Amino acid sequence: MKPPYRFNILLKHPPRNDMAGDWAGFDRGTGYEFWGLRKYLPGDSWSRIDWKACARSGELHVREFLRDSAYNLLLICDVSCSMHFGNKFAMTRDLAVSLAHAALRSNNPCGLLLFADKVLTWLPPSAAPRQFHRIVNALQQAPAVKSRQTCLAPALDYAMKRLSSCLGVIISDFHTDLGSLKNLMDAADRRFPAHEMVALHVLDDVEYQLTDIDGGLFTLMDVESGHQMALDLSDFQKFNALLRRERERTVRVLSGVGIDSAVLPVDATDIQARVNTLFARRLAARV
Amino acid sequence: MPGFELQFPLALLLLLAAPFFLVLRRRTRRKLSYPAIIPEMAALRPGFWKRHYNGIFFTLVYACLVLSLANPGYSKETVEEFIESKWLFLALDLSGSMKRPVSQSSDQTLGDLALDGIHAFIDMRRDDDYIGLVAFSSYAKLLAPLTFDKNLLKAKLDLVRSKNHSRIYRELGAGGGTNASEAVWLSLSAFFSMLPEENRLSVEQIAGMREFLLGEPGTLLDIPQKIRTAALGTGMAVILFTDGRIEPTQRAHVRSGALPNLVNIITLMKAVGVRFYIISVGGEVDEAVERAMQPTVGEPAVGRIFVTSRGLDREQVEEVYREIDILETNRNLTRITLQPRWTRQVLALLGFGLMVLHLLLRSLPRLRKL
């Protein structure tokens, strides 16, 4: 699958400390951080042979190292019912694939976490060549969700417990309770957080703003909770203002817990620019 | 509401299904899927009227249609006050004996005297009284059916004056007999044929009824149900003027076919309430007829027999007719009519109107449901 966007992923915060390892990835490869020893296999470079180990054991052993990386990208994708409204999930997939491709191309591990009311799929970060295909497959085979709500906090908690540091990109519509994020994110060091989080708000047009409506009475049904509500959209500008206020509130709440946001309407033509601008602005804001 | 009733009350059970239809409507209502409904959207909820006008109109239309099926009705009471209109038949004897002069010095016959009395009587009556004329001798002839045209009646009376020598006068005078029972029966038949359509007897029914009158007095009369329910007789009277013998059966001459028995006719008149006055010149009234005219216990009299002497003059005749006029005074009546009014059409139209109004409201941009 060819990634539709070309993203330039930039970290806002430097590695947490100056010690080696902060740049270390999770895979073995060419790097400086020692990973372990293994028996010599034909084809291994003689420069990797650990002679001390050979002397101790009487057999040839070679050293293995961690692959160097700038960050571990974790794609945290919402696959709840509301994300299957319109073309939102297709866009989520495009964003995730593009981000994964950008990370893996620059030799950075990339992982995937699919969640709804709980964690549904977990692919640990890896920079292996097959990781891209794993991520694509996992997104294409995203499980059908019958949950009646979306819970972001358990997914973040799950990722934080398993990764010492990462750059998390949350791709969601954020129709969830954001109050519980405050406790979760407050525990992290705000100055040099180990887990950087970025929020990409994937919104359908009707979530963003209504246009071309002559007004009238509508009965809306929440695709996730099934809750129904009759609305008088005679003056749909009020509805648009309400949507705008609600989105601004969500962005503000996320910003309050250190998560920067970019709103991405499905029909927007400048998705790539918006995401790249978000990363660039975060970097600029650090100074 | 007086006289409220339902034509098909069981149809009201359909009202019990209304909640079911409302719930069904609510469940099958078209809904637009939306990613997330936030509590703040409650500020945009429509008001009570906008939210429920569909259900309200549906309920009203449904109720109207069910009620139109049940068809409620009420009786409209109409009170009319009017002066009674009398139906009077004057039967005049034109037999040979009526051609005798009143006095030796006068050229006026007894028949002319009777005609003068009838003439005066017609003038006494109110304009809206129906008056008919029957002349009889050996057979009876309808001179004028029931009418309130007094000029016509007077013109008919002139036909049977002796001086005019009309064909009817000659024909009737030729008979010579006094067939009073036939004349009275003819008058009654005219009453029966003037009844409202639902109570009117056909010619065959009248002829069948006549068969019962041919028997001996005391025969059980079979009065048709139509006549029984017609409230016949109110304000109806037959006035018979004769100088011949009033007897139950014909004795003076022979004729083919049977004749109605006068006692039976009087019994019939009692049963249906038609009053009967006999002006008998010379007083030759049979005992059986007199007995029949006597009121039975607990019942009003069927009428009265006025017996006059043979030396009759105009004053006496007019006095008798004045007396009859007093007896048949027009009464002030009050008629209360309860007319059933069914409301099916009104309710169906109302339901249809509400349906149209509902569609019009739905087409308004502010009330359009999508």
The reply to whether B346 and B233 lie within a common domain is no
A213 or B273, higher pLDDT: B273
The reply to whether B100 and B43 lie within a common domain is no
Record: contact A85-B35, CB cut-off 8 A: yes
Strands B303-308 and B275-281 come out as: parallel
Contact residues, chain A, for B35 at CB < 8 Å: 82, 85-86, 88, 173, 175, 204, 206-207, 222-224
The closest CB to that of B35, out of A207, A219, A228, belongs to A207
Segment B266-278 shows an average pLDDT of 86
pLDDT attached to residue B250 = 54
Query: What distance in Å separates residue A71's CA from the closest CA in chain B?
Result: 33
pLDDT band at B258 (very low <50, low <70, confident <90, very high): low
Which has the minimum average pLDDT: A48-62, A81-95, B7-21, B38-52? B38-52
The reply to whether B342 and B309 lie within a common domain is no
**B 43-102 residues with CB < 8 A to A:** 43-47, 50-51
**Rounded CA separation A83/A89 (Å):** 6
Segment B275-283 shows an average pLDDT of 82
The reply to whether B355 and B323 lie within a common domain is no
The reply to whether B50 and B128 lie within a common domain is no
Are A79 and A112 a contacting pair, CB within 8 Å? no
Residue B11's domain spans which residues?
Answer: 5-78+338-363
pLDDT attached to residue B252 = 42
Residue B354 has pLDDT above 90, yes or no: yes
A133 or A10, higher pLDDT: A133
The reply to whether B282 and B322 lie within a common domain is yes
Are B193 and B89 a contacting pair, CB within 8 Å? no
Record: contact A219-B29, CB cut-off 8 A: yes
Query: Looking at chain A, how many residues does it have?
Result: 287
Query: What distance in Å separates residue B362's CA from the closest CA in chain A?
Result: 9
- Which of A147, A84, A91, A92 is CA-nearest to residue A119? A147
**Rounded CA separation A199/A255 (Å):** 9
A202 or A219, higher pLDDT: A202
pLDDT attached to residue B254 = 40
Segment B253-275 shows an average pLDDT of 75
Measured CA distances, B167 to B118, B163, B172, B347 (Å): 21, 12, 9, 65
The reply to whether B202 and B344 lie within a common domain is no
CB proximity A212 to B under 8 Å: no
Segment A60-88 shows an average pLDDT of 87
Contact residues, chain B, for A207 at CB < 8 Å: 35-36
Helix (H) or strand (E) holding B292: helix B287-293
Contact residues, chain B, for A177 at CB < 8 Å: none
Which has the minimum average pLDDT: A14-18, A139-143, B204-208? A14-18
pLDDT attached to residue A132 = 94
The reply to whether B264 and B241 lie within a common domain is yes
The closest CB to that of B45, out of A85, A86, A231, belongs to A231
Q: Tens of pLDDT along A102-117?
A: 998 877 889 999 999 8
Contact residues, chain B, for A225 at CB < 8 Å: 37
* Domain annotation covers residue B280: yes
**Could you give the percent of chain B with pLDDT greater than 90?**
14
Question: Who contacts B29 (Cβ-Cβ below 8 Å, separation ≥6)?
Answer: A219
Contact residues, chain A, for B33 at CB < 8 Å: 85, 220-221, 223
The reply to whether CATH 3.40.50.410 applies to domain A73-286 is yes
Residue A191 has pLDDT above 80, yes or no: no
- Token duo for residue A83: 């994300």
Record: contact A220-B31, CB cut-off 8 A: yes
The reply to whether B73 and B89 lie within a common domain is no
Number of structural domains found in chain B:
2
pLDDT band at A10 (very low <50, low <70, confident <90, very high): confident
Within its chain, how far is the Cα of B26 from the centroid? 59
The reply to whether B43 and B116 lie within a common domain is no
Measured CA distances, B265 to A176, B96, B218, B247, B289 (Å): 104, 24, 11, 12, 10
Segment B146-166 shows an average pLDDT of 86
- Which of A241, A225, A223, A277 is CA-nearest to residue A89? A223
Q: Tens of pLDDT along B21-70?
A: 989 988 888 888 888 888 888 888 888 888 888 889 999 999 999 999 99
B95 or A113, higher pLDDT: A113
Residue A151 has pLDDT above 70, yes or no: yes
Within its chain, how far is the Cα of A195 from the centroid? 11
The reply to whether B65 and B97 lie within a common domain is no
What rounded mean pLDDT belongs to chain A? 85
Q: How far apart are the first and last CA of chain B?
A: 44
The reply to whether B214 and B349 lie within a common domain is no
Q: Tens of pLDDT along B325-337?
A: 877 777 777 878 8
ipTM entry:
0.74
* Domain annotation covers residue B370: no
- Indicate which CATH number applies to the domain containing B181: 3.40.50.410
pLDDT attached to residue B253 = 41
What rounded mean pLDDT belongs to chain B? 82
Give the number of other CB atoms < 10 A from CB of residue A286. Answer: 11
CB proximity A245 to B under 8 Å: yes
Q: Where are the domains of chain A?
A: 24-68, 73-286
